[in-house]
Every structure is written in C-alpha cells, then in structure tokens.
Amino acid sequence: MVAQKAKVTIFDVAKASGVSSSAVSYALNGKPGVSDATREKVLQEARKLGWRPNGAAQSLAQSRTRRIGLVLGYDPQLLSVEPYIMRLISGLGSALEERDYSLLIRMSMDDDDDVSILEDWIATGNVDALLLLNLEIGDPRIDLMKANPQMPCLAIADASLTGGLPTLTSDDAGASGTMIRFLASLGHRNIARVAGPEELGHSYIRDAAFSEITTELGIRYRCLHADYTPESGADATKRLLSVTPRPTAIIYDNDVMALAGESVASMKNVSVPDELSIISWDDSFMNVAAHPAITALGRNVLESGRLAAQLMLKLIDGEEVEDVQEPPYELVERDSTGPAPKE
C-alpha cells in the first residue's frame, strides 16, 4: 500500500520561506501586507513544496465563522479553581450565544505559544475576532495585533498597556486606594500584599499604586509576588507572619490565595480579624463560605464578560469602539476585617 503524501500547509510554506504564517497567508491570497519580494519568495517556496489552496478555507476566509478566539495562558490546575476567569467566560459566552456566536478557547503554556496560536487564527481566518487577557509589560501580542488591523481585537486590561487597541479597562489604581484607605480608617499602619505574578501588567499597576498611596499615608507596606495558586498564597502568608513586626492586615490579589492565607493564620493561631485583617481582591462564593467570611473588593464580572462580547461584535460589524470602563469595584465588608490590634 502506497503511503499518502502529507498535505502541505501554510506553516510548511512559512518555515521554508523564513516568514510568519500571517505573511504567507497574505502572499498566497493576494492581500496587501507583504512586500513584492516576500510575496515572490513565498509563492516560489509554495510551488516547490507542491502547496494547493484549500477551497473550504478560502470560502471560510470570505465569510464569517461566528467564532471569537481566546487564548488562556493559565495553569490548568489554577484555572479549575479560579472563579474570576470562569465568571468572565460565562458572561462572554452567554452574550455571544444570543447572537449565535461561539467562543473558541485554546490553552497555552508560554508567550511563544500564545503568539503562535494567534498567528494561526489570523492566517487561517478561523475566528472573526480575538480577545486578549492578562497583558504583560511589552506584551508581544500587542505588536502582532497592531500589525494585523484586519482582525478585530479587544483587550481587557488597563488602557496604558494596550497600545491603542480597543480596550475594556478597569481602574486598578483607584481600587488599590479604596482598600488601603479602608484599612487606614480601621487604624492599620502596617499592611502587606500577596500579589499576582510580577510580569503581569495589572500587577505592575497595582504595585505602583500601593507604593504611592501607602507612602502618602505613612503606612508600612510589604509586597510578595505569588502565582495565584493556594500553595503560593499559603507560602507567602507564612513568610509575612514570620517577620517582626508582622503586618496587621494582608491584601491578596485573588480569592484563592486569600482563603489559603486565612487557613495559615488559623494554623498559626493568629486570630482573624482580632490580630490580622484579610481582604481579597476578587469576590466569589469562596469568600462567603470562608470562616470568618472574607472582606473583598468585587465587581460584576459576568457583566464585564457581556460587555466584552458586545464590543467585539461591534468591531466585527466594522464599528469604531472607544475604550469602555468595566463595572466599578465595590468593597464588600465581612468578618475578616476589623480594627488594628493595639500595640
């Protein structure tokens, strides 16, 4: 039996030509975006490899797929216990379903994988629009999307991170001030924060806001960066409770770490809130189920997802979209916070 020859793909042509899959797509489909020299090189390599156009793919590229693409760079174990992203996807998915659109999700393990998946979608026209989450400082996805303006794209991030792309933005700096001033009103003058990964753009913005506001108010402040997992939240809490003088309040950048931190305090016989106040940045059922229930800075994440869907559908329809503010943060006071202990 004769083995069937593997089909040549645009990625094979891209490798042979030494250019991106997006550039190959432009060259093979006669679209602008590449130089004449690059187009000729791509066509030459394609002929050598025996590339043949995929009729179904070409037809698809000329019509709507009714799909929105989202690449999640989360550890699968964290994703399974992370309420924020699941609520965002719920709001996004439900709003898209109302317009007969679906959400195409891919998982990635690193930044290069993120970019490769996006390049694939852009080159093949496999989605009608892209959603970007968890932007980093100097994120390569920003340059990729700016180089491919034909692909509608929305970022959920602080507008200072998105390079002018349409943005659903949040006020993380203002939210930082809300929590710090709340603790200051309770007499806390020595606080700490267990933050998310340092490379994330919103961590950077929160770091700057915390440093500025605590300095302004004359509050001692320590920060340890973790990776959003319960294990990292617990480890950071153990370190913070071992210093002298130890903080009288700790703010956690997500509810998973806050719950782990509260457990550590209990194991070390540190009373919450009598000796230690705890605040979670995100609010979810975890904070209500905890004992004591955890004070949290929350927002309507389902509505954020719905807003993101509405904005992307406008972009697909060719409408211009200005930056839109996410639903505001609100501090929900529960039993995990109280007056600072007397020295």
Residue 97's CATH number: 3.40.50.2300
- Do the Cβ atoms of 219 and 190 come closer than 8 Å? yes
In a domain, 123, yes or no: yes
The closest alpha carbon to 65, from 53, 77, 56, 55, belongs to 56
Domain limit, last residue, from 298, 315, 335: 298
Same domain, 235 and 288: yes
Please indicate, yes or no, whether residues 197 and 290 belong to a single structural domain of this protein: yes
The Cβ-side half-sphere exposure at 182, using a 13 Å CA radius, reads 23
Answer yes or no: do 135 and 280 share one domain: no
- The whole-number mean pLDDT for each consecutive block of 10 residues of the chain, a chain of 343 residues, reads 56 85 75 79 85 54 81 74 86 93 88 86 92 92 93 95 94 96 98 94 95 98 94 97 96 96 97 98 92 96 96 93 92 98 85
Helix (H, G, I), strand (E, B) or coil at 114: helix
User: CA of 330: how far to CAs of 32, 87, 133, 177, 214, in Å?
Assistant: 47, 17, 22, 12, 20
What's the CA gap between 253 and 279, in Å, rounded? 9
Distance CA 272, CA 294 (A): 10
Model pLDDT, residue 259: 96
Given 261, 280, 298, which residue is the final one in a domain?
Answer: 298
Please indicate, yes or no, whether residues 165 and 187 belong to a single structural domain of this protein: no
Could you tell me if 196 and 211 lie in one domain?
Answer: yes
Give the model's pLDDT for residue 80.
Answer: 67
Whether 342 is covered by a domain: the verdict is no
Report yes or no on 292 lying in a domain.
Answer: yes
Count CB-CB contacts under 10 A for residue 215. Answer: 10
314 domain residue, yes or no: yes
Counted domains in the chain: 3
CATH value at residue 35:
1.10.260.40
Same domain, 115 and 31: no
Lookup: tokens for 127: 């989605």
Non-local (6+) Cβ contacts of 299 within 8 A are 170, 283, 326, 327, 328, 329, 330
Query: Could you tell me if residue 195 is inside a domain?
Result: yes
CA atoms of 220 and 211, how far apart (whole Å):
10
Q: How far apart are the first and last CA of the chain?
A: 85
Same domain? 228 vs 277:
yes
Q: Are residues 82 and 223 in the same domain?
A: no
Q: Which domain holds residue 45?
A: 10-53
Alpha helices (runs of H) in 218-254, residue ranges in sequence order: 230-241
Same-domain pairing of 165 and 305: yes
pTM: 0.80
